[in-house]
Amino acid sequence: MTTNEMNLRGRELVDEALLPTEADVARYERTGWHIAPQVLPDALLDSARLAIEAHHAGKRDRILPRKAKFSDWRPGDGDGVRNNEFCSLQNDGVRELVMQPVLGAIAARLARAPAIRLFDDQAIYKPPATGAVGATAVGWHTDHSYWSTCTSTSMLTAWIPLHDAEVKNGTLYVIDGSHLWPECEHLRGFNDPDLDSIEQRMGRAIPKHLITAMQLKKGQVSFHHMRALHASAPNRATHPRFAVAVHMQDAANTYQPLTSANGMAIVLPHDQLCRPDRAGRPDYSDPEIFPEIWPGKARNVKHA
């Protein structure tokens, strides 16, 4: 199946009732997060879970170039948190979920953008509680900290649990309004399970009432701003937790060259996967790596 054929599957009208209202968008702009209603069917989520399990077992529909360095858990890597990046580029079942038009339509409303492209995605698995459950926490971080070569300040992430998500099974937490804090500019703590040290790391007090758990029913999706500080708690349930994070870029996003503190050029795996633009720089509009989720072929919103 070609990329274009996969992009065309499932394109249909998106129901206006599922999209954020202007009041919802204004709230997102204040808090940095939004919870959508149940927009995804159970069958699609169940299929994605089976696809992720097959991915863990070694199945790949496509092989990405070895030169691109990214996390892609395989048997033998241990049984803590499993992080498989660029999963939709390798796995058709995950791609079917990631490319749902409703995800892009919601993101476009929240970002006030005419179009939304995929930037990357992650399939994240947390094993059930055994022993040191703290090891299954995902640390406080901002997505923007890992996307410093992006010019956009409006990128966002859809977080999709493949079942009900609650505090007990390690749901996502977002700190209200943190996307407006300058201290969040370079906060990379994804692999640091010490969730209690965030105030010390930030150098500021964080009132407990600002920390919001994304408690979702199966089919619901949460969205958070690229600069929103977020983490997920340990999985203390008796069953694994499956989730897919879909990182999305607005149409205006392009590549910008940057160097690290030691003077080395910053190179994302995205840069190693996509085609160059006319100037020889990574092209963040390459449809093979960054396909358009919205509007794509779903160019209409169905009004009640």
Reading the chain (304 residues) residue by residue, the pLDDT tens digits are 333 343 333 345 799 999 999 999 999 999 999 999 999 999 999 999 999 999 999 999 999 998 899 999 999 898 889 999 999 999 999 999 999 999 999 999 999 999 999 999 999 999 987 765 457 888 889 999 999 999 999 999 999 999 999 999 999 999 999 999 888 777 776 777 778 888 888 888 899 999 999 999 999 999 999 999 999 989 999 999 999 999 999 999 999 999 988 889 999 999 999 999 999 999 999 999 999 999 976 555 665 5
Distance separating the N- and C-terminal Cα atoms of the chain: 35
In the block, tokens 């995902």 appear at: 138
222 belongs to a structural domain: yes
Residue 75 lies in a domain: yes
Contact predicate 198/115, CB 8 Å: no
292: in domain: no
> Does residue 237 lie within any of the structural domains?
yes
In a domain, 297, yes or no: no
User: How many structural domains is the chain composed of?
Assistant: 1
Inter-residue contact 231 to 173 (CB < 8 Å):
yes
pTM for this entry: 0.91
In a domain, 298, yes or no: no
Residues for the chain: how many in total? 304
What three-state secondary structure class fits 98? helix
Q: What range does the domain containing 280 cover?
A: 3-286
On whether residue 280 sits in a domain, the answer given is yes
Contact 89, 7 (CB under 8 A): no
Is omega for the bond preceding 295 within 30 degrees of 0, making it cis?
yes
Domain with residue 51: its CATH number is: 2.60.120.620
Judge whether 120 and 158 are in contact, CB under 8 Å. Answer: no
DSSP three-state, residue 51: helix
Residue 137, domain member (yes or no): yes
